[in-house]
Structure 1
Amino acid sequence: MTLFRQIYTLLFVLFLLVVTSLSYVQFTETQSFLTKQMESDLNNTSHSLGIMLVPDLEAGDIVGAETLINVIFEGGYYQEVKLTWLVDGKQQVWQNPITIDGVPQWFIDLDLFKTIKRESIITSGWIQLARLEIVAHPGFGYHELWRTMTNATIVFSILFLIAIISARIGLTWILRPLHNIAEHAKDIANRKFGPDLTLPRTAELKSVVQAFNSMSDQLKQIFSSLDEEVGELRKKNLIDQVSGLPNRQYMMGQLNSWLSEPKSGALMMAKFNWLEEVHSKYGYQVRDETIRLLSEKMKQHLDGVTPSVIARIAAYEFAFLIDSSEHEQTSKYLQTLIRTINQEVSKAGCKPNEDFAIGIAERIGQMSVTDILAQSDNALQKALQDNQVFHWFETNEKQLFTREQWRDHLNSAISDGQFKFKWQPVLLNETESVLQRELYCQLEINQKMVQAGQFMPYVELLSLGTQLDKSLIEAVHSKKLLEKNFEPIAINLTFQSMGDIEFHQWLNKFLRASPLSSRICFDIPEAAIYSNPEACEALCTIIRDNGAHFGIDHFGRQFGSMSYLQDLRPRYVKLDQSFAYYDESEHSSELCRALINVAKGLDIEVIVTGIEEEEQLERFIPLKTNAYMGYISPPIAID
């Protein structure tokens, strides 16, 4: 029971006790007063009637005596009058029935008034003439007692209602700070640190609110310090201090992560020998400033073409990872890069289109990090050897289908539900039991199995992400995949679905209609949260309100604050695969530990991804992660 209900019940009982006590006192006092009043009236009547009857009794006038008694008896205050003549023993009786108008019979049956009777001997001198017996009628007492108690009950009831309503309103107002404290405590338990509570006027509550505000500020500061620590460790371990760009270690992790996902794109390797000339002419300080300015211009101009990762991997070498683009868009990116470089070359007093070279290698089919690095480096060496500005690595591998063919195949697969499924278990560290199963899809085209890595780039390029997500979610329901195992199923959502309001509405209706929505998890890419936080928050609210769950995929890949975790409150995060490929240095472990501590500090489960060998897994066990997944436990075909 809440404190409000306890206090309210206590006040209710106390007030009811007071009202009952007052009613009892009022009842007994009124009853006693009416009894005494009837006794007094009976005494007076008995005495006065005895005196008035003496002349008639002395004369033996029976009619006169009856007339006198009738006058008094007809007033209705007496139940019975009995006159006994002592001379001859003749007896006369007058009686009134006990019927009282306006008083319920059950009240009369309570027998609240005892019989009040007075007996007197009427004398004349020493001669006894008659015996007079008068019994008071209780009707007056019952009538007055009923009227008094009815009025008192009405008054007490009105006062009782007023008091109860006033107590409720007053308690609500008085205990409002406690209600705010309770809500604030729930927010703190959910790791949500809002603004400080307003201090109440009540001294005791004021100290409690101050304590809560202080605790909330300290917890907020702890989370902020962890977030800042992550930022500092990223700058220290993954950022080149001169250019402000990611370093080689970060680029290698992103390459591994990129190639493990179903995406398209290209890798460019560039060598800027003209920076060595700047160094020889003006010294290292001017060279470093030139590198910094060049890096800013490249980020400024290239981000407008397509998202990419730009890294400084050596003194005069840079790498450009375009993680989702076609040949035409890559060409546009290349032209923008060359134009930006020439502008900075001219400012440095060097000749444009000289002393720098770029090698480009596109991702085609299944490739490893070694393959893409070798192809881009071969293209770079070829450009340097031929004294060209750039060279595009040529491959004999042909695309499986043209864009239009992909459009036809994908539209047909989505509309007809032709996808086949696998799922990969996410295993708990301690028990190795299954925490959830991540769903993968593949497609059979012309009797050939096509993996997601081959068709997903075209899903993004052709803007079919929302339709694909709907098809896969409906397939989970139609194929009864949730009933095959008790573990939740994790479904990866595409970028397009994140900002699609129509998809949000559709998903809301689907989850409401699903009896097993609590066993569905949705993986939301971290990049989508940074690019469109409002849409992602709206989608997460829909998922949470319908009993489903969601997590953050590629956690830690983006350079930015982790404060979004407080707003979204995901159930889990999946650490980006790049962390599984970082070296085993102390700095890398510190960065992983800091990222994990940020999530675990908000009571969020941490899942490590990209685990292929036991040695990789052993590196993460001391970091207190919850679960892991990867090809150490490969995907399993669903029957």
Structure 2
Amino acid sequence: MTLFRQIYSLLFGLFLLVVASLGYVQFTETQSFLTKQMESDLNNTSNSLGIMLVPDLEAGDIVGAETLINVIFEGGYYQQVKLTWLVDGKQQTWENPINIQGVPQWFIDLDFFQTIKKESIITSGWIQLAKLELTAHPGFGYNELWRTMTNAIIVFSILFLIAIVVARVGLTMILKPLHEIAVHAKEIAQRKFGPDMRVPKTAELKSVVLAFNSMSDQLKQLFNSLDEEVGELRKKNLVDQVSGLPNRQYMMGRLNSWLNEPASGALVMAKFDWLEEVHSKYGYQVRDETIKLLAEKMQDHLDEVASSVIARIAAYEFAFLITSSEHDQTSRYLQALIRTINQEMSKAGCKPNENFAIGVAERIGHMSVSDILAQTDNALQKAIKEDKVFHWFETNEKQLFTREQWREHLSAAIQDCNFKFKWQPVHINDSDNILQRELYCQLNMGDKIIHAGQFMPYVELLSLGSMLDKHLIQDVHEKHLLNKNQEPIAINLTFQSLSDPKFHEWLNTFLRSTNLSERICFDIPEAAVYSDPDSCHAICTVIRDNGAQFGIDHFGRQFGSMSYLQSLRPSYVKLDQSFAYYDDSEHSGELCRAIINVARGLDIKVIVTGIEEMPQLERFVPLKTNAFMGYIFPPTDIED
């Protein structure tokens, strides 16, 4: 809130407080006065009427008594008069309906005036003649109270409007020089480094503006230098200098991360002995240039078939991690790879389909890094031994369903909200407290429980991401999971949901309808920020505007600038699992520290993921991260 709004709100609040206090005092005093006045009038009338009725009551003159009472009753100040003759028990009653002119019925229904009654016994000496009961009519009180309060409200409203206009004009003039400083300070707080502010003539503000301009320049340079440092360290530690592709260390980290996520795909390893022929014919410079051109062509051609990570893991060995694909798509990827290799071999003067071999192993079920590496290497060695272009590792494990069966079963299970939930705690460093709980879901399909690792690849392939996220969030709300703990629940959003405007609208409506939005966190994969930044900005705005939180998942995985953090401003980032598996070398530590410092420099919490043992966690202690998660504290079932 700006300084103008703070002062304006303060004056506004003080004026309201004064007006409300005066109004309350005026109201209570008027109500009390009118009540006492009606009680006094009732007492006086009861006493005087009792004295006047004595002669008629002694004589048993009913007509005379009625005449006296009618004179009093017709004045309209009494709701009811009841006279009970004690001699024979005869009772006479006079009533006026409660019909108050000029006062709204809702005001009367508030019952500001309680029923006021006065009972008295009319006596003559020691003889009790009759009982007289008077009930005051509230009309007089309501009329007077309504008139007084309406007049007061009119006067207060006029004064209030005048005060608002005068205060706004006055504060605008007084605080005008501070407006630009406030705007610039807000931009700096959001790490938006715009042009320097104009230096004002006011002596008191001149030094403030100069200090702000200097601070803005220094922060901008600091962030840019951190971002550049991360880029240089990545090139130094994770990129092969000849090909420009990721190196073996990066590929191993990605493998670990990939196998710990719900995904499908395959690992391909290729050995290009024909590059040794190029080396022997033309020298290492031509060989290195050929490797560089080959890498560029593979990236261009293979990315069109499937999303993959291509790495140079040895002098003449390359690895291809296809992060999400089915068997047919992997087959097309392999064909495109062979075609690209043959084209580059022909350009280098080598015979196609000779002196290279490829091994392929698909990810099926739960696999470890050693499992898939062993399968891929076995396939590669068999291709080399049998002098074949490629060999596909054979497995006896069959797919659970066909694609259409997956579509049918997934659509039905998601539509019926057949979710079974687990959550994994995110522990705060050096504390037993929990920062948040990341939600995992399984699906009940008939008599089978399908884990996310099995169905999530098909959710993405069949474009069911928005449908899954929508029903999952609804089920979390309907099962009251947000009420089970005070910690927020983190929900992973699919790529389709991030790019679907209809899902954005639905999420906005949902968050507005719940009063627990602050207990929901949404994890957005870093890859989506790079691939579709506009959609990510849009959904992050929806989440932030409704009081929920969001964070970046797999932070640091992508090669690229981290300047997006300045515009998105996430509450936290979850460091990619691959950092937990990098070696303990000094260079890896420098890269990890630089990436963490980029986030910490923007006051963003850093969560380390993939922690399985205490030694892993101890590596991150000097880096001053905020929290950690992993199978050191595995996911647990959520009790109903």
**Structure 1: distance between partners of 2:606 and 2:481:** 25
Match status 1:290 vs 2:290: yes
**Structure 2: distance between partners of 1:211 and 1:606:** 30
Match status 1:429 vs 2:429: yes
Residue aligning to 2:503: 503
Measured after TM superposition, the shift of residue 457 of structure 1 is 0.7
Residues 12-23 of structure 1: matches in 2 within 5 Å? none
Measured after TM superposition, the shift of residue 307 of structure 1 is 1.4
Check conservation: 2:4, 2:172, Cα contact below 8 A. Answer: no
**Structure 1: distance between partners of 2:617 and 2:170:** 60
Distance 1:2 1:350, change over 3 A: closer
Residue aligning to 1:448: 448
Comparing 534-543 and 192-201, the one that deviates more: 192-201
Residue aligning to 2:325: 325
Give the counterpart letter for 1:351 in structure 2: K
Cα offsets for 1:304-355 (capped at 9, x unmatched) = 2221100000000000001001111111111111111111111111111111
Measured after TM superposition, the shift of residue 432 of structure 1 is 2.6
SS in 2 for 1:279: helix
Measured after TM superposition, the shift of residue 200 of structure 1 is 3.9
Distance 1:203 1:512, change over 3 A: same
Match status 1:598 vs 2:598: yes
Residue aligning to 1:218: 218
Match status 1:549 vs 2:549: yes
**Structure 2: distance between partners of 1:358 and 1:439:** 39
Residue aligning to 2:310: 310
**Structure 1: distance between partners of 2:463 and 2:387:** 40
Residue aligning to 1:409: 409
Match status 1:514 vs 2:550: no
Residue aligning to 2:633: 633
**Structure 2: distance between partners of 1:199 and 1:392:** 70
**Structure 2: distance between partners of 1:479 and 1:582:** 40
SS in 1 for 2:583: coil
Cα offsets for 1:582-614 (capped at 9, x unmatched) = 111111111111111000110000000000111
Check conservation: 1:521, 1:549, Cα contact below 8 A. Answer: yes
Residues 585-624 of structure 1: matches in 2 within 5 Å? 585-624=585-624
Match status 1:183 vs 2:183: yes
TM-score normalised over the length of structure 1: 0.74
Residue aligning to 1:46: none
Distance 1:406 1:183, change over 3 A: same
Residue aligning to 1:370: 370
**Structure 2: distance between partners of 1:461 and 1:167:** 60
Residue aligning to 2:48: none
Residue aligning to 1:77: none
Residues 453-464 of structure 1: matches in 2 within 5 Å? 453-464=453-464
Residue aligning to 2:113: none
Give the counterpart letter for 2:257 in structure 1: S
Check conservation: 2:262, 2:456, Cα contact below 8 A. Answer: yes
**Structure 2: distance between partners of 1:338 and 1:258:** 24
Distance 1:5 1:607, change over 3 A: closer
Give the counterpart letter for 2:373 in structure 1: L
Match status 1:266 vs 2:296: no
Residue aligning to 2:393: 393
**Structure 1: distance between partners of 2:539 and 2:337:** 36
SS in 1 for 2:299: helix
Check conservation: 1:427, 1:629, Cα contact below 8 A. Answer: yes
SS in 2 for 1:349: coil
Check conservation: 2:555, 2:573, Cα contact below 8 A. Answer: yes
Cα offsets for 1:366-400 (capped at 9, x unmatched) = 11111111111111111111111111111111111
Give the counterpart letter for 2:378 in structure 1: N
Cα offsets for 1:66-119 (capped at 9, x unmatched) = xxxxxxxxxxxxxxxxxxxxxxxxxxxxxxxxxxxxxxxxxxxxxxxxxxxxxx
Gapped runs of 5+ residues in structure 2?
A: 12-160
**RMSD of the TM alignment (CA)?**
2.4
SS in 1 for 2:380: helix
SS in 2 for 1:396: coil
**Structure 1: distance between partners of 2:572 and 2:447:** 38
SS in 2 for 1:610: coil
Measured after TM superposition, the shift of residue 5 of structure 1 is 8.8
Residue aligning to 1:567: 567
Distance 1:168 1:464, change over 3 A: closer
Give the counterpart letter for 1:487 in structure 2: E
Match status 1:300 vs 2:300: yes
**Structure 2: distance between partners of 1:578 and 1:237:** 13
Measured after TM superposition, the shift of residue 174 of structure 1 is 6.9
Give the counterpart letter for 2:275 in structure 1: L
Distance 1:559 1:2, change over 3 A: closer
Give the counterpart letter for 1:384 in structure 2: I
SS in 1 for 2:258: helix
Measured after TM superposition, the shift of residue 406 of structure 1 is 1.1
**Structure 2: distance between partners of 1:6 and 1:489:** 37
SS in 2 for 1:612: coil
**Structure 1: distance between partners of 2:341 and 2:565:** 38
Measured after TM superposition, the shift of residue 173 of structure 1 is 5.8
TM-score normalised over the length of structure 2: 0.73
Give the counterpart letter for 2:501 in structure 1: I
Measured after TM superposition, the shift of residue 570 of structure 1 is 0.5
Residue aligning to 2:341: 341
Distance 1:168 1:513, change over 3 A: closer
Check conservation: 1:268, 1:320, Cα contact below 8 A. Answer: yes
**Structure 2: distance between partners of 1:561 and 1:525:** 15
SS in 2 for 1:633: coil
Q: How many residues align?
A: 489
Residues 56-205 of structure 1: matches in 2 within 5 Å? 172=172, 175-202=175-202, 204-205=204-205
Measured after TM superposition, the shift of residue 259 of structure 1 is 0.4
Measured after TM superposition, the shift of residue 169 of structure 1 is 5.5
Comparing 405-414 and 248-257, the one that deviates more: 405-414
Residue aligning to 1:141: none
Residue aligning to 1:136: none
Measured after TM superposition, the shift of residue 206 of structure 1 is 4.2
Give the counterpart letter for 2:255 in structure 1: L
Residue aligning to 1:158: none
Distance 1:200 1:444, change over 3 A: same
Comparing 512-521 and 333-342, the one that deviates more: 333-342
Comparing 170-179 and 540-549, the one that deviates more: 170-179
Distance 1:329 1:173, change over 3 A: farther
Cα offsets for 1:176-217 (capped at 9, x unmatched) = 341121222233233333333344454653443232122111
Match status 1:356 vs 2:361: no
**Structure 1: distance between partners of 2:223 and 2:189:** 13
Structure 1 outlier segments of 4+, above 4 Å: 1-7, 164-171, 201-204
Measured after TM superposition, the shift of residue 303 of structure 1 is 1.3
Give the counterpart letter for 1:283 in structure 2: G
Check conservation: 1:556, 1:595, Cα contact below 8 A. Answer: yes
Check conservation: 1:4, 1:171, Cα contact below 8 A. Answer: no
Give the counterpart letter for 1:358 in structure 2: I
Gapped runs of 5+ residues in structure 1?
A: 11-160
Check conservation: 1:482, 1:489, Cα contact below 8 A. Answer: yes
Measured after TM superposition, the shift of residue 446 of structure 1 is 3.6
**Structure 2: distance between partners of 1:524 and 1:260:** 17
SS in 2 for 1:444: strand
Residue aligning to 2:533: 533
SS in 1 for 2:423: strand
Q: Larger C-alpha radius of gyration, 1 or 2?
A: 1
SS in 1 for 2:298: helix
Check conservation: 1:4, 1:175, Cα contact below 8 A. Answer: no
SS in 2 for 1:529: helix
